[in-house]
Amino acid sequence: MSSKEDKVLKTHISVVGKESSLMESSQIEALKARLLYQDICRAAQHLNHFLLKGNAHKELFKPHVLALRDMAQQVCIKLIFLHPVDYGRKAEELLWRKTCSDVALLLLKTNRKHMDTSE
Q: Where are the domains of the chain?
A: 3-118
**pLDDT at position 9:** 45
Please state which of the ranges 46-50, 52-56, 77-81 shows the lowest mean pLDDT. 52-56
**Sequence letter at residue 75:** V
- The mean pLDDT of 74-79, rounded to a whole number, is 90
24-33, 71-80, 85-94, 97-106, range with the lowest pLDDT? 97-106
Q: What integer best gives the mean pLDDT of the chain?
A: 77
Helix-strand-coil split of the chain, %, nearest 5? 90, 0, 10
Are the C-beta atoms of residues 41 and 76 closer than 8 Å to each other?
A: no
Percentage of the chain modeled with pLDDT above 90: 1
Average pLDDT over residues 67-79: 89
> What values do phi and psi take at 44, rounded to 5?
-65, -40
**The pLDDT of residue 83:** 85
Task: Indicate the pTM of the whole model.
Answer: 0.66
- 108 has a pLDDT exceeding 50: yes
pLDDT at 10 over 60: no
Side-chain half-sphere exposure of 106, counting CA atoms within 13 A: 21
